[in-house]
Amino acid sequence: MPAQQTNPLRVGLRQERVISPQCLVIFGASGDLTHRKLIPALFELFRQRRLPSEFAILGCARRPWSDEDFRARMAEAMASEIQQHQSAWEQFSGCLFYEPVDLQKDEDVVKLGSRLETLDRLKATRGNRTFYLSVSPAFYGSGCRALANAGLLQDPSRSRVVIEKPFGTDYSSAQSLNRVVQSCGQESQIFRIDHYLGKETVQNILVLRFANAIFEPIWNRNYISSVQITAAETVGVEERAGYYETSGALRDMVQNHLTQMLALTTMEAPGRFDPEAIRNEKAKVLQAARLAYEDEPWKCCVRGQYSRGGSPASPLAGYRQEPGVNPESTTETYVAMKLFIDNWRWQGVPFYLRTGKRLPKRLSEVVLTFRKAPVQLFDAAGGTPTANQLVLRIQPDEGAGFVFDVKAPGSGMRSRPVDMHFSYDESFGEPSDEGYVRLLADAMLGDPTLFTRSDEVEAAWRLYTPLLELIEDAPARLPVYPYEARTWGPAASDSLLAEDGLMWRRP
């Protein structure tokens, strides 16, 4: 037998997945995201031995904390997790440092530069830096400028900036923010986060479509009659009224998370598995998407807001009664809408998107409904014949299902739908990493595949501009219908589909 050859490309790819020595700088280190998501994700990477030994995390915020304060606060927030991994935490916390920094103050940024040099020497991080902007979105532009002015983004191969959502609040603000950040560094240095792209099941949309030859021939208008994309949450607005009141469900969930699921479901196959090839296809399909009735946008969108609900034993407040919410607020906590994609693959196929808070179930899924059999030979057991459906379950119960008809048992030839079911949990037995684990690792690796490029983010905002303008200029055209907490949104959203002879899938 010939000696087994090592495939140099595979070795190359594996080597690329090694995070190089670096310092991760988190701005907004005293905020929620840092102790709820970022530090736990980094600790997970540490325990998986995926961080280099030459590594430092520098937390920055305005509070006058010391390194020890920062370590103690992170330990306090993650107490239950640390209990199980005490010695790992002791080693990991040695990588945690803190510097009080106000990015609006030049002298602070200069101080930051020298602290980074000290850390480079102490931890041998070689001047490689990933700056994570977990600050108020109002400071994304000025934050990047401050870093650029201090010369901290000069070398594109050594410095990157990760920017949290929301990236802009509409098309024009996203364009201006893009102009600012691109004047501070190259596009390859900018990593715009959408945490849905960190989810294994969202990435799986690509693998399912492009690793299996059977789907491509039917993944188009000839076989698919409609697509539903849902992101339902049971939680309410929680402590985030300040932000949510200015955002609402359209900006908070649709423009980013639902649109990313839409893009991955509808994009063309990239020529190769390469970040830019993939992002080109995503941007292209989003540029071809449009609201169902462009000239009458109010006809293709329904907004809702949760009112009191729940049970007598556990009553739930309505949105307007939540702390910090204007008692007359017209912010939507639910949106449903209909879109089309004007290209050869999707022309005429309606896409229905919906998302809401305080719905009966937490669930995100993409449902592709196929055309019915052209001739109905058999009686359907339930009365109405069903269409085949492919259900991509993003969360929870991650996996996929395919609904198809079989012969109902018994005499006669009646058909009945059954569900073929794949579960990540049953097949792989181990929980997948939290989205931030994957995204932080990718940002530090410099792999932009799962981050949103400037043209994608702009195309996503442009798509919803007619709705945002309507909400701003003629809100009466897009009324906010109340729906009882723990119900599936306002009745008007059912009518949106009923007009097309369809129903939302009730999971």
Residue number with the smallest Cβ distance to ligand BG6 = 252
Residue 47's contacts (CB-CB under 8 Å, 6 or more residues apart) are 85, 88, 92
CB of 364 to ligand BG6, least distance (A): 6
**Which C-beta is closer to ligand BG6: that of 231 or that of 278?**
231
Tokens of 165: 């959502």
CB of 232 to ligand BG6, least distance (A): 9
CA dihedral 282, 285, 287, 292 (to 10 degrees): -130
Residues 261-280 that bind ligand BG6 (CB under 6 A): none
Tell which one of 252, 281, 332, 398 touches ligand BG6 (CB under 6 A): 252
Distances (CA, A) of 386 to 116, 225, 351, 376, 411: 62, 12, 19, 11, 20
CB of 135 to ligand BG6, least distance (A): 15
| Per-residue contact flags (x/-) with ligand BG6 for residues 176 to 215, judged by CB under 6 A | ----------------------------------------
CA dihedral 178, 180, 186, 189 (to 10 degrees): -80
Residues 231-250 that bind ligand BG6 (CB under 6 A): 233
Residues 353-372 that bind ligand BG6 (CB under 6 A): 364
Residue 450's contacts (CB-CB under 8 Å, 6 or more residues apart) are 197, 198, 203, 438, 439, 442
CB of 191 to ligand BG6, least distance (A): 16
The DSSP code sequence of 436-478 is HHHHHHHHHHT--TTSB-HHHHHHHHHHHHHHHHHHHH-GGGS
Q: At what angle do helices 275-288 and 454-473 cross, to 10 degrees?
A: 30
Distance in angstroms (rounded) separating the CA atoms of residues 396 and 230 = 12
Active-site residue, from 35, 85, 195, 257: 257
Amino acid at site 80: S
Distances (CA, A) of 93 to 33, 267, 363: 18, 42, 35
Amino acid at site 426: E
CB of 181 to ligand BG6, least distance (A): 20
Our answer to whether residue 257 is catalytic in this structure is yes
CB of 199 to ligand BG6, least distance (A): 7
User: Would you please indicate which residues are annotated as catalytic (active-site) residues?
Assistant: 257
Residue ranges in contact with ligand BG6 by CB under 6 A: 233, 252, 364
